[in-house]
Structure 1
Amino acid sequence: PTDSRLLEVARKKLVLLAKRHGIVLRQTYVRQGPGLSRKAGRYAHARQFKRMRKVLRRQRTILGRV
């Protein structure tokens, strides 16, 4: 996924799938996820693309870790 919202949706779905299959995750990033999504949107709106890319990279890392 290339977009902040898609990354967040993917994280949520993975967490939900794990829960359905009885897999206990140590970290779900339930607090960080939506916040990072908002941050990316704000940075994009303010044309601060380097900061936005940093947030997207963090979201990708979180998605991989979940």
Structure 2
Amino acid sequence: MEKLVLNASKGELAVGKVIALDHIVSETSITPTNETIQAILDLQKPRTLKQANKFLDGLAYYRRFVP
């Protein structure tokens, strides 16, 4: 069994939100960061069926964030 070691100088306590794995995690929600959203918006339009399917598969991960 591995030991968990915490370093107080590298952590923060009682914060309202944190950024983890390109998501903003707060008490009430989890949302993608603005940089992640902008990267998706900046993607080139798919030109082939294969590219379109690949694009849609990539977006499927973010479907829970779309109202």
Structure number with larger C-alpha Rg: 2
Q: Determine if the TM-score, normalized by the shorter chain, exceeds 0.5.
A: no
Structure with the bigger percentage of helix: 1
Tell me which of the two structures has the higher relative contact order, counting C-alpha pairs closer than 8 angstroms and 6 or more residues apart.
Answer: 1
